[in-house]
């Protein structure tokens, strides 16, 4: 993207009815631009669905709620040994729980998918993703 991006242009792209105003549109655009492949697109769509479910739920939900846990089973990133990056802090956060080492636990699957995707996207070009405006 053009750097620096004016506030007006940024708002027109990312707010209201802008082409990148929704998570769904961001996923489609990232995929179309070749920033990530089918596995990330699949998992990002599941993460989007989970996010929407949590945001609009009428009753409290957690990652272990049966319907949510079922969706987490379909995340692909945690099953790919070459691709996944397990966050070290996660294992330290829950040392007393088998959750942190149980690759089938919904919280672990969700955490690994989100962490891996965000880490791999940051590896694309950290200065752009962190909002630095100086030309490369």
- Tens digit of each residue's pLDDT (9 = 90 or more) over 101-134: 678 889 889 999 999 999 988 887 655 444 443 4
pLDDT of residue 135: 36
Positive or negative, the CA dihedral 124, 15, 24, 2 is: negative
**Counting every residue, how long is the chain?**
136
Residue-range domain boundaries for the chain:
37-129
- Tens digit of each residue's pLDDT (9 = 90 or more) over 17-76: 999 999 999 999 999 988 899 999 999 999 999 999 999 999 999 999 999 999 999 999
Tell me the whole-structure pTM to 2 decimals. 0.81
Q: Where are the alpha helices (DSSP H) in the chain?
A: 7-14, 23-32, 38-56, 66-72, 88-93, 106-124, 126-129
Instruction: Report whether pLDDT(93) > 50.
Output: yes
pLDDT of residue 96: 64
Instruction: Report whether pLDDT(9) > 60.
Output: yes
Whether 39 and 73 have beta carbons less than 8 Å apart is answered as no
pLDDT of residue 3: 76
pLDDT of residue 125: 63
């Amino acid at each position: 993207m053009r750097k620096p991006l004016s506030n007006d242009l940024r708002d027109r792209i990312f707010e209201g009815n802008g082409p990148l105003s929704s998570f769904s549109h961001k996923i489609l655009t990232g995929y179309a631009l070749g920033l990530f492949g089918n596995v990330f697109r699949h998992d990002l769509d599941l993460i989007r669905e989970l996010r929407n479910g949590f945001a609009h739920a009428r009753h409290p939900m957690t990652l272990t709620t049966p319907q949510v846990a079922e969706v987490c089973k379909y995340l692909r990133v945690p099953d790919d040994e070459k691709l996944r990056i397990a966050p070290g802090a996660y294992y330290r956060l829950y040392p007393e729980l088998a959750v942190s080492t149980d690759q089938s636990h919904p919280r672990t699957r969700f955490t690994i998918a989100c962490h891996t995707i965000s880490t791999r996207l940051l590896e694309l070009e950290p200065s752009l993703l962190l909002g630095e405006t100086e030309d490369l």
